[in-house]
Amino acid sequence: MAAAVAFRGRVIDAVSRQPVREFELEFLPHFRPGSPVPTAQSYRTKDGRFEVRGLPDGVWTIHTTARGYQRFELAGLNVSSSKAMEELSIPMRAGLALRGRVFDETTNEGVGAAKISFREAHVARFEGNFRNRPATTSKADGSFFLDGVTPGAVRVEIVAQNYVSRELDVFVSPKAAPLEVALSTGGTISGYLAGTDGITPVAGFASLRHLDENSTNGRQSSSAGEFTFNRLTAGRYELVGRGGSLSGKREITLSHNERLAGVILAMHGNHNISGVVSGVRPEELQRVNVFLFREGGQDVHSPQSTVDANGAYALTGVSPGPVRIVASIGTGRKVTKVVEMPDGSDLVVNLEFKRGFSLTGRITRGGKPLSGAAVEPNSLTAGPGEFLTQGAVTSADGDYALGDLPDGEYSLIVGYSYLTASVQVSKDTVFDVDIPDSQLAGRVLEEGGKVPVVGAVVGLIPAQPGGNGRRNWTGGTSDHFGQFSVLGLQPGDFLLTVYKPGFELYRVPFAYGSPISDMVIPLRRGRGVEVRVRDAETGKTLSTARALEFLRGWTGIVVHLSPDQNGVSYLPSGLAGSSLRFSANGYASNLINDWNGEQLDVSLQRQSTP
């Protein structure tokens, strides 16, 4: 007896709408205990049609690949043997091939088994599903062939065992020359952590921050304080060490493939922060942890502490400057304070978990219980950083329960995208939410055609001024069909905003009154306005940065800035008139008020580690 048909579909060219006759489907289950293993199936057809049989019930991601086309990703496909699915139409966008060779820069011999992957140039290295990007592997002679590459500007990543990984900015066209990629074994920094005398070894933790690339990694030292960092690129590094109440740092400049051994990091004594965490039940004390972070900065290993039977904690070796102290109960409730650590004395900071109220209810969608949905409380009255708490996940019946919420006004974020109406919590409160199946839905297409735009951010900002910088963005992201769906809309006037890097910003006034299911939004290709974001001290371009829009008192879109090989990123010209806050990990932010739409050169001041 033949296995049951899970679903049917047809693979077509996104422009001509003609069938794609040869293709492969890869089936990736959403992980859960006992998940089936990923499988793949190849098809040769006359009309692009296919049937999938015997696929177990569950949630799947389907990748469709074909020679000369970009990979199509269908995420969150719910397969049920008890429910028939409509035939899927899979529009494939044209892709190009990238050829080349990976070799050892010293011996010129090919490097086999290197992984070569790509992403669109505007996408950050660890953004989205970065572990499952389209990729190929080099042959023994180092040669490779990568099909289905997005035409235009992409970033190619090459990873090989025992070599330093490389990223290259490549403009992919039908006539692009083969890539020649030289890999090096990289440099090394090794040494040990020492006490205040600069001699006595101290066991602890060492972290190494690449100041030019704004990346950090760290590791525990040996019992003799020894540390080693391998496969390093040339550039400026900050070495930070901690051991007991001691800490220290020094800057190191490493040349290409340089082996720097015998580095001694002398540490000095800092002062401590101590205090008492109160408002915690006795049975919760053993789950309380207190962490310290450099405010606005980046640090791999910051001081942390547990609490004793009285709730007392101590954070040792804290250097001067603004720091954020966070106390958490397991992965649940958190309380935080930002303080200024003085230079020359200890500091006492007490943290209190204030008893609050419960917020419970049932989440439904179209009147039916919504199970397994994340529910996050969003305080509308607390200041920035004052309210931190763990959310909940709905039960099989759609029920949720949030505890110990401080008196105030809240909305709920359901499933990371649906923003509910507000609710006042001044006592134990029941708040049921019914999410409509769709309120605003449609497709984002390239202007003048039928090609879907994948990964466009669609959102709405209230048209009326207000917000005091509060985020009130409601929206979603277009999928591989170009389809989007926006939930959580209340009738009113908005600014409808759609953006994807490489396209012009689409922004129009939009009056919402009743559900819309077939909106078509055309995006016109456009690079944007040049912007450079630099380290204020060195003048070097930062490898990653962000620009957050402020418009009429509301926060708008976030543009992730990934510079090309010339250090240039791009902002959509449609943001002219908005204020923009530029930021990067480890740097203080810089606010540009009422941007005039012209080229920008922004400097960010680096912040010290705790």
Q: To the nearest whole number, what is the mean pLDDT of the chain?
A: 88
Per-residue model confidence as pLDDT tens digits over 431-454: 999 987 667 899 999 998 788 999
pLDDT-derived band at 467 (thresholds 50, 70, 90) equals low
CA dist 555 and 600 (Å) reads: 20
CA dist 452 and 460 (Å) reads: 20
pLDDT at residue number 55: 85
Per-residue model confidence as pLDDT tens digits over 126-185: 777 788 899 999 999 999 999 999 998 899 999 999 999 999 989 999 988 999 999 999
603 burial level (CB within 10 Å; 0-12, 13-18, 19+): middle
Encoded tokens for 30: 């959403």
pLDDT at residue number 3: 58
pLDDT at residue number 473: 60
Give 379's strand partners.
Answer: 410
pLDDT at residue number 413: 86
- Evaluate if residue 469 carries a pLDDT over 50: no
pLDDT at residue number 491: 81
pLDDT at residue number 513: 87
Per-residue model confidence as pLDDT tens digits over 50-73: 999 888 888 888 999 999 999 999
Q: Residues of 176-185 as b/e, b for ≥16 C-beta within 10 angstroms?
A: beebebebbe
CA dist 33 and 312 (Å) reads: 39
Contact 167, 157 (CB under 8 A): yes
Give the best-scoring range by mean pLDDT among 358-372, 394-408, 496-510, 596-610.
496-510
CA dist 224 and 106 (Å) reads: 34
Return all residues near 34 (Cβ < 8 A) that are at least 6 apart: none
> In the 8-state DSSP scheme, what is residue 587?
B
pLDDT at residue number 298: 47
- Evaluate if residue 45 carries a pLDDT over 90: yes
Domains of the chain: 5-92 (2.60.40.1120), 96-183 (2.60.40.10), 187-269 (2.60.40.10), 271-352 (2.60.40.1120), 357-435 (2.60.40.1120), 440-523 (2.60.40.10), 529-604 (2.60.40.1120)
Per-residue model confidence as pLDDT tens digits over 596-610: 999 999 999 987 655
pLDDT-derived band at 562 (thresholds 50, 70, 90) equals confident
Give the best-scoring range by mean pLDDT among 41-45, 537-541, 543-547.
41-45
- Evaluate if residue 258 carries a pLDDT over 80: yes
pLDDT at residue number 300: 46
Pairing of strands 288-294, 259-266: unpaired
pTM: 0.75
pLDDT at residue number 31: 67
Residues 231-260: what's their mean pLDDT?
A: 92
Q: Which amino acid is at 502?
A: G
Give 393's strand partners.
Answer: 374
Contact 460, 495 (CB under 8 A): yes
Encoded tokens for 396: 């099989």
CA dist 240 and 251 (Å) reads: 9
DSSP per position, 202-224: ---EEEEEETTTTEEEEEE--TT
> In the 8-state DSSP scheme, what is residue 449?
S
Contact 603, 536 (CB under 8 A): yes
Contact 40, 50 (CB under 8 A): no
Q: What percent of the chain has pLDDT over 70?
A: 93
